[in-house]
Structure 1
């Protein structure tokens, strides 16, 4: 029984340890890339593009088909023939007719088919780039949500410190009140302040739970899973700083636009190819059976069977279709011109995004350093005011204001750190290096 009890306790502890999952930003991002619907569907699009290539390639391969037919001529057609000045009425054919044949068709020259094959391969590359862009969008969303979650967690930790300090001061005032050295109103005001802080913490705890559920949904994790953020998530790194980054060259958006332009060019070529001649090979081989009765077999009585074969070339030369193809070509050219305008605008937007991200990261770092200094100053002021209050040199209002200032300074530092990390994500995105968050 003792061994069984120890084993059950060990199993229970192990399950509890597994239930609480430590989730780093890297883990969250990689989990999302494997489980989130957007990332999964983007990968399936890449897989489906292979089948699209197979479909286009099949149109350039030989097309072989088998055909069979059975016809009963209920009333045979009659015709009149002149034999030596006498007209003879004869019936054409037999009541039953059966055919079985094989046919082959092969494209020898069809520019539209060949261009379509190139377009299918470019489409596969387009989906590959689009899948990468989708992954980057998922990474950006996960990182932003993750840092928002950590901000709330840090604010709760700040309130825990505030509650601890306020409780300590309240206990001091309680002791002074018990000794007749403090007023009851001072004690009541401290209790009200403490209760407000505790209430504020509970509200943040509720917000934290909602944010955790949102993060789990965003990465495709079961909502019932318990997660815990590590302590060292918020830190200033040098990965974001890059004054001389080649913005635009590494952006997936640019690669995707370039591939779209290539597809539009191929569409123009395919449209032009509709006016080119086409050449194809066809071949047929089959059996024809006719008779008074149903001709099931070659040697069936009263049935006559004969085989036939043919080989030919089909040449089609478009001459005039009313100008339809010419109009389509002009439309394709206009589409390319419109696309080029979009590309130029997109490049300007990406350059703007990069410059803004650099400015934001610089301003966020300045603000963060300022808030760090404010926290140190607010802490010193609180300590001085607390000592003065104990010695009767400061009022309770001064003490409460000092505590509020210290708490606000800590929250402002947390907010500044979050702003910095969000700006860091945007700069990494502007540099085209969001995949570094997965490593």
Structure 2
């Protein structure tokens, strides 16, 4: 019975593993997985959450500041102060040394400070809100960059798998030819050199297949890293990955003003403008309200918990206004304002350069899409032609009308045509991602 349970467990585990191994990972699934598990996406989300804490930090400067202070002092030897007394009648002076203070002294006080006017604090509050908006937009940009990486890596893996499939088909065809020649050779109807040549071709194809298998494994591992997946997970892709569709965006003008990259830079410009205002605000005076209340006890013995042993307690309080007017600080504020303006000017240069780069990428993606479509159409026709040539050459070889060299060349030509088609499909898909990115629609790759 125990053996039966063990076998059942092993069978169930095998079924679960096979089911897991057969699970397909579409591009949409890969992107969703990356947005949930990749470190870059997680950190961008944490930055958004941390922005709330930064806002609370800045807001705290505008709220009342309440502090409690307590002190306990022991004066083992009280300092004596000299007092000179003059007799009004005789004019004689007498100097005496008298102790002022008590051996023990305890002070407990509560103080409150409230900013009434501080332009730097008010500007900081505005900047805090803008900072939150910046992190939200920056997270969107991080997600888009991650989507682009995932798509490019995903298509690269698929292209290598198509290349592997081409080699395996070619290997299967060449192996069949080798088996036929081997049978003919055993019956004395074929030459040994022909058998040796087909064996060499089979061996070369097996070596090429192993190289591509290794390349596929490396690219799959790279894809898993990009999406944050464990290396032990299995990846299977749908056969419709390289489907081509007509993109109307190729013939439409592209507006880059809504691109996330521009939005991030624009929000950075707002932050720099607020930073400049914060520096300018240091020219303004500051006004704050203060209040305090304290309780002080002193005497010859430990004042706390003492009962009528010469310890005297008294309270005090006060309220006031603190006004600070900056007059001259060695042109420090002026220098910082100028530095802040230069930072704004530099960012404007970056914005102009980024717009130029985005326009370049958009136009290049259009050209690449058009060229890729033409190349794909040409390569598809070439694949059909190479397949037809291979079929004709194979029939001719069987009928003794073609040489083995002609057959092997036809097989290689067919394989090359298929690889060229796969490469052109990869180029198209990469250009498609760039065009979608140029239109600011990368998240459309996530199919709901």
TM range (shorter): over 0.9
1:122-173 Cα offsets, whole Å, 9 max, x none, are 1121111111111111111111111111111111111121122212322333
Contact 1:245 1:431 in 2 (8 A): no
The answer to which of 8-17 and 54-63 deviates more is 8-17
- Aligned pair 1:265/2:278, yes or no? no
Q: By how many angstroms is 1:241 displaced? A: 3.6
Aligned partner (choices 340, 344, 360) of residue 336 of structure 1: 344
Task: Give the aligned partner of residue 414 of structure 1.
Answer: 422
Does residue 76 of the first structure (1) align with residue 67 of the second (2)?
A: no
- Which of these residues, 216, 224, 236, is aligned with residue 228 of structure 1? 236
- The offset of 1:18, in angstroms, is 2.4
Task: Determine the C-alpha separation between the residues in 2 that align with 1:80 and 1:96.
Answer: 23
**C-alpha distance in 2, partners of 1:212/1:192?**
30
Q: Corresponding residue for 2:128?
A: 120
Matched, 1:355 2:363: yes
Structure 1 unaligned segments of length 5 or more: list them. Answer: none
CA deviation vs aligned residue, 1:371-426 (integer Å, no higher than 9, x gap): 00100011111112222222222222222111111110011011111111111111
The 1-side partners of 2:265 and 2:388 are apart by 56
| Distance in 1, Cα, partners of 2:214 & 2:431 | 26
**Distance in 2 of aligned mates of 1:176 and 1:19:** 42
- Superposition deviation, residue 15 in structure 1: 3.6
Distance 2:424 2:246 in 1: 17
2:156–2:426 CA contact under 8 A, matched in 1: yes
8 A contact 2:295–2:314 mirrored in 1: yes
Of 309-318 and 161-170, deviating more is 161-170
Aligned twin of 2:261? 253
CA RMSD of aligned residues (A): 2.1
Change (3 A) 1:118 1:286: same
1:100 — aligned with what?
108
Distance of 1:88 and 1:242 partners within structure 2 = 104
Q: Give the distance between the partners of 1:258 and 1:87, measured in 2 at CA.
A: 80
Specify the SS of the correspondent of 1:182.
coil
Q: C-alpha distance in 2, partners of 1:384/1:16?
A: 41
Please give the alpha-carbon distance, in whole angstroms, between the structure 2 residues aligned to 1:259 and 1:79. 68
Match of 1:30 in 2: 32
1:284/1:309 contact within 8 Å kept: yes
Mapped partners of 2:270, 2:368: distance in 1: 35
> Structure 1 residues 83, 100: closer, same or farther in 2, change over 3 A?
farther
Matched, 1:210 2:210: no
Most deviating of 197-206 and 237-246: 237-246
C-alpha deviation, 1:362, in angstroms: 1.0
- Map of 2:376 onto structure 1: 368
TM-score, scaled relative to structure 2: 0.92
Which is worse superposed, 374-383 or 206-215? 206-215
Residues 329 and 386 (structure 1 numbering): CA distance in 2 closer, same or farther, change over 3 Å? same
**What TM-score, normalized by structure 1, do the two folds share?**
0.94
Q: In the alignment, is the contact (CA less than 8 A) between 1:240 and 1:424 conserved in 2?
A: no
Report the equivalent of 1:193: 201
Bigger Cα displacement from structure 2, 66-75 vs 142-151: 66-75
Deviates more, 1:119-128 or 1:164-173: 164-173
Q: Are 1:28 and 1:219, in contact at CA under 8 Å, matched by a contact in 2?
A: yes
How far does the alpha carbon of each residue in 1:251-296 deviate from its partner, in whole angstroms, 9 at most, with x for none?
Answer: 1110100010001000000000111110100000011112222221
User: Measured at CA, do residues 93 and 10 of structure 1 come closer, stay the same or move farther in structure 2, by a change above 3 Å?
Assistant: closer
